[in-house]
Amino acid sequence: MSLRETASRLFRCEEPFAITMWDFSWLERRWPGAGYEDWDQALSELTDRGYNAVRIDPYPHLLAKDICRVWTLNPVWNLQNWGAPAVTRICLERNLQEFLRACRRHQVRVGLSSWFRQDADHSEMDIRTPEDHAGIWIRTMDYIREWGELDNILYVDFCNEFPLDLWSPFLRRGATGLKDPFVVDWMKRTVCRFKEAYPEIPVTFSFCYDFDENMDVSYLDFLEPHIWMTSNSDFYKKVGYYSDRFDDKGYTNLALNGEMEYLMNQAEYDRALVDGIFQLARWAEKSGRPLVTTECWAVVDYKDWPLLNWGWILDLNRLGVSMAAATGCWAGMATSNFCGPQFVGMWREKEWHREMTGVIRSSSLKDR
């Protein structure tokens, strides 16, 4: 079966979809000016830019434990503009249902993933086995089915960027990567248990490193790799950026050095991105699994900040979208991981978004 035929069967759409990552921001960033206070407005602005899908966190570990409870969440960081930068409270009972209904109103499909946000009781650590992992997602889908929203679910990504410690602390051991037998067994058993309940829902685990085109991914319906120019280069080392979640020294170095370093060595960094895209395309062709990428292309971390200009980021993302679309291997992709109303400098570039989503949605998957 060709990549085009596989993608059409999985996602029930005849063209690649333009998706954006709204992660846990959709629910946590609802204070005045945070971007998601009015879901209808945010979704109207999204579709106006040409997007037709979102990837969100439905907090499956919290929903399965108590959908009615008001949960107190600890901040995962205070430097990034995804989610709440300080302690916050959420309730899923009506909010998830209402958001899914809003997406349907605006004809936006919904991909589900989880960053396993940490609550005050550390409920994420209640996941002790792959069967537990599958079980919380099954319960989540049970609720969505009861609400009549199951047919608008695009896919389930069982864990963001598996098996990073930050997002999968429940593994309780230092996983060495995607080739670790423990990690592979966990993924296979999770998929197997979930598919017993919901065989029709496309599933995957998203990854951000350790890609290997020879790895067995036959148990996954599609591949969700996250890739940036920084994945295949020493850009961060050269500019002095490191991801400290509560210290801005790395951001200071990025602001002072990042754009200049890129422009001085643009051909090198552009090639690093393109080479990474071609590597993923080979993986898709060899495995027979279409690609979906929701975090991508330029740098991992960025925001509206002094000395952080958006121009070079937009240029890198244009290169990424154009090259990925041309491979014929992507069933869906984002334009970046900053495509949300909280990233004002990028969100306001309406024509840029329309150009990019036009490229994505007019591209063709390989028919052989």
Query: Residue 176's pLDDT is what?
Result: 74
As given in the structure block, the two tokens for residue 221 are: 């319906």
CA 324, CA 363: separation in Å to the nearest integer? 10
- Specify the pLDDT at position 1: 86
CA distances from 334 to 94, 108, 329, 338, 368 (A): 28, 14, 14, 9, 24
- Check: CB of residue 223 under 8 Å from CB of residue 240: no
**Cα–Cα dist 13/44, whole Å:** 21
Helix, strand, or coil (residue 91): strand
Q: Indicate the pTM of the whole model.
A: 0.97
Any idea what DSSP says for residue 189? H
For 213: left if phi > 0, alpha if psi spans -120 to 50, otherwise beta; the answer is: alpha
Strands 88-91 and 70-73: antiparallel
320 neighbors 296 (Cβ within 8 angstroms): yes
Omega before 16 within 30 of 0, i.e. cis: no
Total domain count for the chain? Answer: 1
Judge whether 249 lies within some domain: yes
CA 325 vs CA 204, 214, 336: distances in Å: 21, 23, 14
pLDDT attached to residue 192: 98
Q: Are strands 296-297 and 227-228 parallel, antiparallel or unpaired?
A: parallel
pLDDT at 293: 98
Q: Is residue 269 part of a domain?
A: yes
The interaxial angle of helices 266-287 and 311-327, nearest 10 deg, is 30
CA nearest neighbour of 316 among 235, 211, 225, 241? 235
In a domain, 366, yes or no: no
The angle formed by the CA atoms of residues 67, 119 and 58, to the nearest 5 degrees, is 45
Query: What pLDDT score does 177 carry?
Result: 85
Contacts of 135 (CB under 8 A, 6+ apart): 64, 193
pLDDT, residue 172, reads 73
**Residue 337 domain flag:** yes
The domain in which residue 205 lies consists of 3-361
Whichever domain contains 105, its CATH number is 3.20.20.80
Measured between alpha carbons, how far is residue 313 from residues 19, 228, 240 in Å?
18, 11, 18
Kindly give the confidence (pLDDT) of every residue in the chain, 368 residues in length, as a single tens digit, with 9 standing for 90 and above. Answer: 899 999 999 999 989 999 999 999 999 999 999 999 999 999 999 999 999 999 999 999 999 999 999 999 999 999 999 999 999 999 999 999 999 999 999 999 999 999 999 999 999 999 999 999 999 999 999 999 999 999 999 999 999 999 999 999 999 776 778 989 999 999 999 999 999 999 999 999 999 988 888 899 999 999 999 999 999 999 999 999 988 999 999 999 999 999 999 999 999 999 999 999 999 999 999 999 999 999 999 999 999 999 999 999 999 999 999 999 999 999 999 999 999 999 999 999 999 999 999 999 999 999 87
User: What is the residue type of 268?
Assistant: E
The Cα 155–Cα 206 span in angstroms is 12
C-alpha pair distances (Å), 120 with each of 70, 84, 136? 11, 15, 19
Q: Is residue 368 part of a domain?
A: no
Among candidate residues 192, 73, 84, 88, the one with its CA nearest the CA of residue 137: 192
